[in-house]
Structure 1
Amino acid sequence: MAEKSFKYVIVGGGVSAGYAAREFAKQGVNPGELAIISKEAVAPYERPALSKAYLFPEGAARLPGFHVCVGSGGERQLPEWYAEKGISLILSTEIVKADLASKTLVSAAGESFKYQTLVIATGSTVLKLSDFGVQGADSKNIFYLREIDDADQLVEALKAKKNGKAVIVGGGYIGLELSAVLRLNNIEVNMVYPEPWCMPRLFTEGIAAFYEGYYQNKGVNIIKGTVAVGFDTHPNGEVKEVKLKDGRVLEADIVVVGVGAKPLTTLFKGQVEEEKGGIKTDAFFKTSVPDVYAVGDVATFPLKMYNEIRRVEHVDHSRKSAEQAVKAIFASEQGKSVDEYDYLPYFYSRAFDLSWQFYGDNVGETVLFGDADPNSATHKFGQYWIKDGKIIGAFLESGSPEENKAIAKVAKVQPPATLDQLAQEGISFASKI
C-alpha cells in the first residue's frame, strides 16, 4: 500500500481531535497538511450527548446534530467542513503501531502514515467487568458506553426490552446519568456500587445524600456497598440475573456498566515518558519526544493553579488542551511563544431536571449551603471547599448562568473566607466576588 504523508497527524477522533482541527483551521493550516485518523466511522462529535439526549425516549439527539464544536457554542463541523478546509478525515481506521523514532503510524489494514508533528488524542477506553474476571461478563445485553456504536446498541436494547428491568453497575457519571435516562424510558432500575455514596471522587456525603434521595424518589433503587460478581443467562445468551457479592440476585433484561476508564497509551509504551497513568507533557502539551504532543484524557500535565502534575478526564479539558497544543505548535514554528496552560478544573452533569457544576479542587474543609432536601420543590444548594483559610472549590446545583459564573470565579480567585460566613451567605458570597 502507498504510504501517506502529512505535515500534521492527529491520532484519535474524539472531542479533542475536533477542537484541535478547529484551531488548526484558525491558525491557517494549508489544505493537505493535516489528517485526523480515527477508528470510529463518524466525524468527531460531542461525547457527553451519548449518556444524555441520545437515549431520550422522545426528541433524541442524533448526528449530525452534535458534531463538534456545538458543545461549546461553536460552529458544527460536519464531514464537509473538514473537506472544505482541506483536512483529511480518515475514518474507520485503527492505528495498531506507532513508531515515534521514524514518525510512522501503521493501521490494522497495513496502511502507513508519515507525519512531521503528531498530536496524540486517543482518549480513554472503558474498564470492562471481564478485566476483573467477573463470571459471565461476556453475556449478551451487558453494555458499556464510550462511543456512538455502544449507544446505538443500547438504544436497540431499550426498544427490544420495553418496560423491562435494568441493573446499572457503578455510581459515577455513567451510573447517575444512565439511571436517569433509563427511568425516562420507563425501565425499572437498580443501581449498584461498592462505595458508601455515589460519585465519591467528587461528592461529599452531604451532596450525595441529595442525589440518592432524589433518584430514589424517581424510582431508582440504590444498592450500596456491594459489587456484581457474576451473571446468569437465558438459553439465548442474554443476561437474566446479576449476582451481587452480598448474596442478593437481581433480575435484569439489560445491564449497563460504568466502572471507570483507562487512558489509551498502549501504542506509545516505552517510547514516551509517562506519569500518573498518562503521557507526561509540559504546559504546552509537548511530550518527552520532539514533535509529539498529547491532549485530553491521555495527557498528564502541570496544573498551574495547584502547582502539581495531574491527569484530567473531562470534556472541558479535552477541548481546551487540544486548542492549547495547536497554538503551541504554530507558535514554535514561528519562533514565538504562547502562555502556559492555566486550567481551572471544571466538571458538570445533567440528569432529570437537575444540573450541577463544580469548579476548582475538592480538598479541605467543606460547608454545605442552601436547600439540599431531595423532597423539596425548590431544591437549590451548593458547597464550598476551604483550605488554608481560602475557598479553593465550589459546587452548585440548579444555579443560574450568572451564579455558575460566580462559583467559577470564586474557585479561580480563591478569596479568604470562614466556614461560618459561607454557611450564612451561601451563593451570595460568590456573587459578590
Structure 2
Amino acid sequence: MTHAIPVPLPSALIEHHAVDLEVKSSNGLGLTVKDVAATPCGEIYTLYSTSRFTYGVADDEADPAKGNFGYALVTRYAPDGTPLATAVSGQSDLVRQDTTLGGPTTGLGEELWGASGLCVLPDGTLAATGWADQTHLITADLTAVTAHYKATHSQHEDGPRDAFASWISTTPAGRLLCTAGEFGVYNYGSPLDNIVSITDQPLIPTSKPTLRALASMEAQPVKQTEADLRPDLLFNGEPVGMDHRPRPSLTEHLTELEQTAPRWAWDDARLGRPAVVREDLFVIPVYGHIYRGGSRGQRFAFVLVSDQGKIVGQLGGMHLDRDSPFTGFCFEIAADPIRERIYHLNRYGLFAWSANGIRAQRLDLEDKRYKLLKHFTLMDCAPAGELILVHRTQHLLLRIPCPAALGDLGEVVEDALRSYAKERTALKKQWQPQNWHWVDSTAPLHRL
C-alpha cells in the first residue's frame, strides 16, 4: 500500500494569484487540513483550506497577484493515492471576492464558519459540515454542490434556521451519527455543539432526516425560547430545547463520577467529534475549559454511549497530565467498527482501546521509533482498516494499517513510518515541492 500522499494545491490557483513559493513564507500562504474521509472501496477525500494574508494589502485589492484570498478545497484520491480531482470554492467574507475560482454563495461557506468536517454518505455523496450546523452536499466526482443546509449564526439574528449538523460520521448499517449545536450554552448567543444524535433515514439533497438525540454535553442552556427549537432534532419525540434534552448530561455524569474533582472541573466544557465503535456503540470526547496560560492537567474524557443514549463507560488508562490532549489541542478520536477498536493520538502517545474501554496499547512518542508521530494529527479510520493521519507542516497524509491484534500496533506503526520516509523522498523527486507545498497540474479542477 501507499503510505505517503501529498495534499496538493492546484497549479491554476497558484498561477492566478502569482504566489511565489520560493519565498519561505510563501507571501503569507497557509494550508490547513480540516478533515479526511474514506470510502469502502479505498478512495480518500481530503477537505482543506488555503489562504494568503499580507499585511498592508487592502481588503478590496482587485489585482489577484496582490490581493489576499481564502479558499476551501476538496481532493479526491484513488486507492493508490493518485489525485483524481480537486474542487475549489471561494471562502472569504473578509476580503474582496475573486470568483474566478468559485464563490462562497455556491461553495462551502464563509471563511469564519466554513466547512471543517467531511463524511462520505452511504450513497457516495460527500457531506461537508461546519459550525452552526451548516451542511453542504457534494457529488462524489466533486463537480457540484447539490444542497445547502444553513442556519443563523446568532440567537437574535433573523433568517431561516434550516440547519442539519456540525459533524457527521456513518455507522456500518448506514445510519448517521451527528453533533448539533444549541443556543444559550454557557449563555452564549451563538450555537455551541451540545447534542449528539443519530438518524434512521438518509440525508439527501431534497430532504434531511430527523435527528434522535442520544446525549447532551451541558444540561441547562440558558435563555432559550420556543424560537430556538428545531422540529428535526428530537428527544423522546419532542424537540430538544429549554429544559428538554437527554439527562444526565455528559458533564453531569462526569462530575458525579469524579467525586475528587473540583466542582468547577467541567465548567465551560466542550464537545469533541464522536466516533462509531460499532453499530450500537459510540465514543464521545468531552474536554474542559481551555486557559490562555496552559491547560495541561485539565479534565478530559472519552465517554462510551449506546445507540439508545445510555452512558456505558469511558476509555481508561490515560493520565490527566502525562497524557494530556490539551498540549497541541489533540482531541481527535478514531474508531475501527470492523475490529471494534478505538484510537487516539496526541503529543505524548498513540493509544488504542478495545470496545469495552480497556486500554490495550500506548506507544510513547519519546521513543525514537515513534517520535515522528508528534508532527501528525489523527484524522480518520478508513473502512478498509487504515488509520489516516496528516503531517501538520509538510502537508502529507500517512496511512497506517490497523493491526489484526493490538499487540502488533508498535511493529505496524514502525514499519509504516519507515515506508513513509522512503516514499516522502521519492515524492519530493517526483513533485519538486517548494516549502512543502505540493502543486498539481494533472488532476481536473472543478470550481464550486
User: Under TM normalisation by the shorter chain, which class is it?
Assistant: under 0.3
Structure having the higher helix fraction is 1
TM-score (ref. length: structure 2): 0.25
Higher gyration radius (CA): 1
TM-score (ref. length: structure 1): 0.25
Structure having the higher strand fraction is 2
